[in-house]
Amino acid sequence: MAHATVEWTGNLEGDFDLKGLLAYSTISHLGLITLLLGLKSELALVAAIFHIMNHAAFKCSLFMAAGIIDHETGTRDIRRLSGLNRSMPFTARLALVAAAAMAGVPLLNGFLSKEMFFAEALSAQDAVSPWLNALPAIAMLASAFSVTYSLRFIHGAFFGPDPTDLPRTPHEPATWMRFPVEILVLTCIMVGVLPAATVGPFLDIAAHSILGPAMPAYSLAVWHGFNVPLLMSMVALAGGVLLYILLQQRLLVGPEGPPLLRRLEGQRIFERSMVFLSWRLARALEGIVGTRRLQPQLRILIGLAILAGTGTVWLRGFGPGNLPLTPVDPVLAMIWSVGAACALGAAWQAKFHRLAALILVGGVGLVVCITFVWFSAPDLALTQLTVEIVTTVLLLLGLRWLPKRLQVPGGREPEVLNRARRLRDLALAVGAGAGMAMLAYAVMTRTPPDLLAQPFLARAYAEGGGTNVVNVILVDFRGFDTLGEIFVVAAVALATFALLRRFRPAADSLELPEQQRDQDGTPLHGDAERPAADWLVVPFALTRLLFPVIVIVALFLLLRGHDLPGGGFSAGMVVAIAIIVQYMIGGTEWTEHRLRLRPHLWIGMGLLLASGTGLAAWLFGRPFLTSYFAYAELPLIGKVPTASALLFDIGVFALVVGATLLMLVALAHQSVRGHRATPRPAERPPAMAEGG
């Protein structure tokens, strides 16, 4: 609720961006949903799920409407927008309905979940905590605020006089741009009018999956008779409209002279408090938390985390756990002293020497990897090692496009300012580090809770058909999470590719780096007429020989993943590394001349295979991603476990190969493209080495 109030003040005053306004209102709706979840009643949980669905429908349509306005007018500033109702009537109607749903107008979906919210707020009164008695009033106030910002969106953008200084002349968008909004608004209306027939089954499934068999009885109907929640809805609606009118006069027109003395007093007090709440407090809060600069935001975030941690320790005490300490192994202690030195060195060198910092971070990664092996986690070590290599290569490729260190002509004044800031940051960093160390120590010296591991260990072989429990969890028990994860990786790879397609490097990094200029135009290998004899011949021959070997290792890791350390992730990374090595030693052109990579195809096939394996379970009448396993007797090889989870893992493998290669190759190609983009003299070297 504190959220709701802060964001209310924020969005009434602080933000003139349409999307910013909607984003703030999303935060207040999330606050409402969290509040419902915090009420600890089954019905409140159903109401929360219902509101999540409704919020998705109306907020998506409002965001898309804001996008349409931005696209058609060239601005999202609510102060410049007005009167769009005349130029884009259809969009205005759609946004009006969606905003009304957000405000909780009857016969729309927002009304239904808000009524459930009110009913829950009322019934929570008999709980122990005293502030719950104020909950209905707070709920009504929050609801009134949502009416106010809905009105601000609609009235600000669509009504009023014609807009004057828009960057573009507004008109209706293309049909297909409006189409998704139309569907969503139709959903809002359909759910609002016929809730039981439309959203009922979906809500039932969703609530069932959380609550299990203990489903409470709830009724999805538009009309529950004249009751208190309905009254609260109406009061909130009226209050929100009133609030908007009052605030608008306050802010746009200025103070008015009220005719009666008594009313003047009352109104002045009201207005004073309104001005304080909506203007001064909001300004002060915005000054602290609303900054658009990253560093203050992060400082607040870390400071709050440290405060929350110390507060808990203050209240609950900090003591050693119940487990005896295991003796310090000198070998691991030495390894970790190297790791700590690497971390501190990286923190020190990231400003002065980026390459050194990167190498030091790689050192930390290796120490982490050894720690995983040390404490019985071979799968993690394998993944960490391969990811470490790929990340380092990726960052090396990026180094080329970063500027030289900024030389500030050193005056006395900024130095002092910088020192104060550095000391504050150092205090935060030391505090955060000490807090993490204490937390980790407290956790490690206590008996780990045996909540979930036992069933996984017991069922991995019997029901998942694999002896590598980590892999069985990833591809079978929690396969849906992994599916979501590989979709994220695919989206990231495509986003990277899309961003780099339009990449325009800064002017000062266009020139060839001196390392490349030193190569004086000698082409790399692959040029049959002129073999460059003195250019890394031995590594070149070795990597070519090793390529099939590495690929076979990857296949080995993939196929044994269900039973032994390995699996799709690490196998995919290993294949990617094999190809990167070819790029690094052979150069872009040589490699692409011989190896036809189609990263998009790999990504698509991976996603298709993984989702297809999941969908195939439906053919057998089982839920999505149910896996099947058996042991097949193959001649010569013997008994081979064949689980459908292996197919899923192959999908993961293909996706990881494609995504990693897409990112790396897109970044590596910038070196080639970057030169082409600039007019250069003809003696440009015909081929360029990749890999930093």
Partner 1 sequence: MELVLSLGIGVLAGSGVWLLLRPRTFQVIIGLALLSYAVNLFIFSTGGLRTGAAAILHAGEVGTLANYADPLPQALVLTAIVIGFATTALLLVVLLAARGLTGTDHVDGRERDL
Site for partner 1 in 433-462 (CB under 8 A): 433-441, 443-445, 447-448, 450, 452-454, 456-458, 460-462
Verify binding: residue 378, partner 1, rule CB under 8 A.
yes
Q: Residue 629 in 3-state DSSP?
A: strand
Residue 312 beta carbon to partner 1: minimum distance, rounded to whole angstroms: 16
Verify binding: residue 215, partner 1, rule CB under 8 A.
no
**Site track 564-603 with partner 1 (rule: CB under 8 A), x = hit:** xx---x----------------------------------
Q: Which stretch binds partner 1 (CB under 8 A): 118-126, 178-186, 218-226, 294-302?
A: 294-302
Among the listed residues 364, 645, 650, 665, the single contact to partner 1 using CB under 8 A = 364
CB-CB contact of 102 with 150 (8 Å): yes
Tell me, by CB under 8 A, how many residues bind partner 1: 119
Residue 287 beta carbon to partner 1: minimum distance, rounded to whole angstroms: 17
Residue 657 beta carbon to partner 1: minimum distance, rounded to whole angstroms: 13
- How far apart CA 126 and CA 1 sit, in angstroms, is 20
Verify binding: residue 231, partner 1, rule CB under 8 A.
no
Is the Cβ of residue 250 or residue 600 nearer to partner 1 in the bound state? 600
Q: Among all chains, which residue has been given the structure tokens 């009643």?
A: 41
Residue 409 beta carbon to partner 1: minimum distance, rounded to whole angstroms: 10
Verify binding: residue 366, partner 1, rule CB under 8 A.
no
CB-CB contact of 688 with 518 (8 Å): no
**Site track 479-518 with partner 1 (rule: CB under 8 A), x = hit:** --xx--x--xx--xx-xx--xx-xxxxxx-----------
Residue 141 beta carbon to partner 1: minimum distance, rounded to whole angstroms: 36
Residues from 401 through 430 that contact partner 1 (CB under 8 A): 401-403, 406, 408, 411, 413-414, 417, 425-426, 428-430
* CA 577 to each of CA 547, 550, 614: distance values in angstroms, whole numbers, following the listed order: 10, 9, 29
Residue 690 beta carbon to partner 1: minimum distance, rounded to whole angstroms: 16
Of 286, 290, 256, the closest CA to residue 270 belongs to 256
Residue 310 beta carbon to partner 1: minimum distance, rounded to whole angstroms: 15
Is the Cβ of residue 68 or residue 460 nearer to partner 1 in the bound state? 460
* Helices assigned H by DSSP within 81-217: 84-87, 89-103, 109-123, 135-158, 175-193, 195-198, 200-211
Is the Cβ of residue 361 or residue 524 nearer to partner 1 in the bound state? 361
Residue 79 beta carbon to partner 1: minimum distance, rounded to whole angstroms: 24
Is the Cβ of residue 239 or residue 378 nearer to partner 1 in the bound state? 378
Is the Cβ of residue 240 or residue 568 nearer to partner 1 in the bound state? 568
**Site track 646-675 with partner 1 (rule: CB under 8 A), x = hit:** ----------x--x---x---x--------
**CB atoms closer than 10 angstroms to residue 134:** 13
Write the single-letter amino acid at 244: Y
Q: Which stretch binds partner 1 (CB under 8 A): 109-117, 269-277, 431-439, 531-539?
A: 431-439
Residue 297 beta carbon to partner 1: minimum distance, rounded to whole angstroms: 10
Of 34, 616, 13, 1, the closest CA to residue 280 belongs to 13
Please name the helix (run of DSSP H) or strand (run of DSSP E) that holds residue 295, with its range, or none: helix 294-316
Residue 685 beta carbon to partner 1: minimum distance, rounded to whole angstroms: 23
For residue 638, give both structure tokens.
């013997």
Among the listed residues 202, 270, 276, 374, the single contact to partner 1 using CB under 8 A = 374
Residues from 253 through 292 that contact partner 1 (CB under 8 A): 292
Please name the helix (run of DSSP H) or strand (run of DSSP E) that holds residue 166, with its range, or none: none
Of 546, 536, 576, 516, the closest CA to residue 392 belongs to 576
Among the listed residues 14, 163, 365, 586, the single contact to partner 1 using CB under 8 A = 365
Residue 290 beta carbon to partner 1: minimum distance, rounded to whole angstroms: 14
Among the listed residues 377, 532, 536, 597, the single contact to partner 1 using CB under 8 A = 377
Among the listed residues 164, 213, 214, 293, the single contact to partner 1 using CB under 8 A = 293
Q: 598-612 b/e with 16+ CB inside 10 Å = b? A: ebeebbebbbebbbe
Verify binding: residue 78, partner 1, rule CB under 8 A.
no
Residue 411 beta carbon to partner 1: minimum distance, rounded to whole angstroms: 8
- How far apart CA 447 and CA 440 sit, in angstroms, is 13
For residue 445, give both structure tokens.
């010296």
Q: Among all chains, which residue has been given the structure tokens 């008109």?
A: 171
Verify binding: residue 379, partner 1, rule CB under 8 A.
yes
Residue 66 beta carbon to partner 1: minimum distance, rounded to whole angstroms: 23
**Site track 322-351 with partner 1 (rule: CB under 8 A), x = hit:** ---xxxxx--xx--x--xx--xx-xx--xx
Is the Cβ of residue 383 or residue 627 nearer to partner 1 in the bound state? 383
- How far apart CA 174 and CA 666 sit, in angstroms, is 33
**CB atoms closer than 10 angstroms to residue 89:** 12
Among the listed residues 368, 512, 546, 555, the single contact to partner 1 using CB under 8 A = 368
- How far apart CA 590 and CA 583 sit, in angstroms, is 8
Is the Cβ of residue 293 or residue 530 nearer to partner 1 in the bound state? 293
Q: Which stretch binds partner 1 (CB under 8 A): 38-46, 65-73, 88-96, 472-480?
A: 472-480
Question: Residue 17 phi/psi, 5° resolution?
Answer: -85, 130
- How far apart CA 122 and CA 227 sit, in angstroms, is 11
Is the Cβ of residue 509 or residue 515 nearer to partner 1 in the bound state? 509
For residue 645, give both structure tokens.
């989870």
Of 26, 12, 20, the closest CA to residue 58 belongs to 26
Of 240, 222, 226, 235, the closest CA to residue 108 belongs to 222
**CB atoms closer than 10 angstroms to residue 138:** 16
Is the Cβ of residue 186 or residue 512 nearer to partner 1 in the bound state? 512
Residue 302 beta carbon to partner 1: minimum distance, rounded to whole angstroms: 6
- How far apart CA 196 and CA 265 sit, in angstroms, is 50
Long-range contacts from 11-14, C-beta under 8 angstroms, 24+ separation: 11/149, 11/152, 12/148, 12/149, 12/152, 12/247, 12/278, 12/282, 13/278, 13/279, 13/282, 13/283, 13/286, 14/282, 14/286, 14/290
